[in-house]
Amino acid sequence: MTTYEVNFDGLIGPTHHYGGLSQGNLASTEHRHSVSSPRSAALQGLAKMKRVADMGIPQAFLPPQFRPDLPFLEEHGFAGSPQEIVSTAYQERPDLLSIAYSASAMWTANAATVSPSSDCVDGRVHFTPANLQTMPHRALEARNTTKTLRSIFHDANRFEVHDPLPSVPETSDEGAANHTRFCRSYDSTGVELFVFGRDGDNDPSLPRFPARQTRAACDAIASTHGLNLDRCVFAHQHPNAIDAGVFHNDVISVGNQTLHLVHQFAFADQDRVLADLADCFGPGLQQVVVPDHELPLADAVQSYFFNSQLISTAPNQMLLLCPIECSENEPANQIIASLLMADNPIRDCQFVDLRESMQNGGGPACLRLRVVLTEDERAAIPESVFLTDRRYHELCDWVRKHYRDRLTVSDLKDESLFEEVSVAMQELHAMLDF
């Protein structure tokens, strides 16, 4: 039976703005209160999805979450009609209004951690939606993400969508952005790498930026998914990398099937981590360590080289789909040229323009959740979430019709924005019958 890796990208929502809400994410804070273009952001994201789909790779998407999150504002004491809540919140707590309007659910690498049926003891695909409790604007996502995943992966004989872990610091979970799976083929049993930034009281040094993932969360997910712990590796993020802006592991390493690209300073105990991966996997895992003197941490973060997508295009052949910023960063460009000339599965590199997302702190890999599915499992989820040519053009037309070309933080007080978003989301849900 054929097994696929399906990319579920987040469809960027109509309230995409630069709130500068994500401490430790340098691009987010650098562009705080800049002018955004929700229309361009969504069209750029859709163009990336279309490029992947045109390669014959299954491409799906998750719809935006409705914003503003009025219950969040009501919990902070704002009352009245939606327009009154928005107006008062802007006058008294514009920071809370920005959180309530955040479109950060577009970065579906943080939606959940996913283990395919071939790795799980019960033979089902397991999902644990991320609680994202470190950042208030992201913590809003967990409930609706869980609901969405349960709507899509509704067949209990094939899928298990768990509740998010408790939303407390001890089990802080950021999803697949800190999780990588290696395998010889998508239908074979894999090795799952879990990366964390905090391990209770055992941290030798604490970074100045938040270490968002905990070891306890990783342990809990591996247990509830029914994984073989002999085929799991747990790695501690290097605190220096976190301080350099590596808020998730997918900003400092990327892996796919038999290839692992990793920066020299990705992990605190890097030699042990790479050796454990090699031992768990057995022969055939190629791990390419990029030295800091060739790609300094600052350039890795600025270019988001490691947030590229590694995509299998044929047996033992891969494409590196990089943000266009990599073509403009000389060290990153040199690394790409070296990889294309070296003995590894990468046969091609393409650059994609995601500047709107990048300026808010998310690159190609941030925008997608990888879900390995057999033919039967794929057939058990709604066709409406897959990106066909027709669906692509429908979504582009919908974006052009409903999204603003520019949006500032001060525009969030505009009562008409609430109405625009409401109408757009009603039309999208009708389109998807979702």
> pLDDT tens digits, residue range 73-124?
999 999 999 999 999 999 999 999 999 999 999 999 999 999 999 999 999 9
Q: Indicate the burial class of 357 (C-beta count within 10 angstroms; 0-12, 13-18, 19 or more).
A: buried
pLDDT digits (tens, 9 = 90+) for 298-309: 999 999 999 999
- What pLDDT was estimated at residue 27? 78
Whole-number percent of the chain with pLDDT over 70? 98
HEC per residue, 77-95: CCCCCHHHHHHHHHHHCHH
pLDDT-based confidence at 208, cuts 50/70/90?
A: confident
pLDDT digits (tens, 9 = 90+) for 168-195: 999 999 999 999 999 999 999 999 999 9
Which contacts qualify for 421-424: CB closer than 8 Å, 24 or more apart? 421/13, 421/14, 421/15, 421/66, 421/67, 421/68, 422/66, 424/14, 424/398
pLDDT-based confidence at 205, cuts 50/70/90?
A: low
Contact by Cβ (8 Å): 340, 322: no
The torsion angles phi and psi of 235, rounded to 5 degrees, stand at: -130, 140
pLDDT digits (tens, 9 = 90+) for 22-73: 888 877 888 898 999 999 999 999 999 999 999 999 999 999 999 999 999 9
Residues 6+ apart with CB under 8 A from 283: none
Backbone Cα Rg of the chain = 20
**Whole-angstrom distance, CA of residue 290 vs CA of residue 262:** 6
Q: Is the pLDDT of residue 202 over 80?
A: no
Q: Summarize the confidence of residues 125-136 as an average pLDDT.
A: 97
| DSSP symbol at 421 | H
pLDDT-based confidence at 206, cuts 50/70/90?
A: low
Domain ranges of the chain: 3-67+102-432
Q: Is the pLDDT of residue 207 over 70?
A: no
Residue numbers annotated as active site: 174, 248, 366
The CA–CA distances, whole Å, from 9 to 61, 106, 277, 355, 422 equal 5, 7, 28, 16, 22
pLDDT-based confidence at 360, cuts 50/70/90?
A: very high
The hierarchical CATH code for the domain 3-67+102-432 is: 3.75.10.20
**β-bridge partners, 227:** 120
pLDDT digits (tens, 9 = 90+) for 321-341: 999 999 999 999 999 999 999
Average pLDDT, the chain: 96
Q: Summarize the confidence of residues 271-285 as an average pLDDT.
A: 97
